[in-house]
Amino acid sequence: MLVKHHHHHRLLMASPYIEIDRCKLIPLSLSSLCACQSRRPSSSFSHKTLILTCPISSSSRLGLCCDGSRGILRVPKGISVNQHRTETDRIDEGESKEEVDEGNNLVMKGDSASERQEKAEKLKKRIIFGLGIGIFSGGVVMAGGWVFTVVVAAAVFIGAREYFELVRSRGITAGMTPPPRYVSRVCSVICAFMPMLTLYFGQIDVSVTSAAFVVAMALLLQRGNPRFAQLSSTMFGLFYCGYLPCFWVKLRCGLAVPALNTRVGTAWPLLLGGQTQWTVGLVATLISISSIIAADTFAFVGGKAFGRTPFTNISPKKTWEGAIAGLGGCVATSVLLSRILSWPPSLLSAIAFGFLNFFGSLFGDLTESMIKRDAGVKDSGSLIPGHGGVLDRADSYIFTGALAYSFIKTFLPLYGV
- Indicate whether 205 and 345 sit together in one domain: yes
Is 149 found in the same domain as 57? Answer: no
Question: Per the domain annotation, does 117 fall within a domain?
Answer: no
Do 241 and 272 belong together in one domain? yes
SS (H, E, C) 364-380: HHHHHHHHHHHHCCCCC
Asked whether residue 327 carries a pLDDT value surpassing 60, the answer given is yes
User: Exposure string (b/e) for 75-84, b if CB count within 10 Å is 16 or more?
Assistant: beeebebbbb
State the total domains in the chain: 2
Q: Tell me whether residue 106 is in a domain.
A: no
pTM score, whole prediction: 0.71
Q: Is residue 404 domain-resident? A: yes
Compute and round to an integer the Cα radius of gyration of the chain.
Answer: 30
Q: Residue 89 is part of which domain span?
A: 2-101
Does 203 share its domain with 297? yes
Query: Is residue 27 situated within a structural domain?
Result: yes
Q: Tell me the pLDDT of the chain averaged across its residues.
A: 77
Give the CB-side neighbour count of residue 133, counting CA atoms within 13 A: 18
pLDDT value at 26 more than 70: no
Same domain, 97 and 129: no
Mean pLDDT of 366-391: 85
In this structure, are 344 and 205 located in the same domain?
A: yes
**Are 196 and 152 within one domain?**
yes
Residue 115 belongs to a domain? no
* Lowest mean per-residue pLDDT among 64-73, 236-245, 316-325: 64-73
Tell me which H or E stretch contains 270.
Answer: none
Note whether 179 and 51 are same-domain residues.
no
Say if residue 130 is in the same domain as residue 230: yes
Question: Same domain for 155 and 297?
Answer: yes
Residue 274 and residue 366 in one domain: yes
Q: What pLDDT, on the 0 to 100 scale, is given for residue 115?
A: 78
300 and 391 share a domain?
yes
Condensed to tens digits (0 to 9), the pLDDT of residues 232-272 reads 999 999 999 999 999 999 999 999 888 877 778 777 777 77
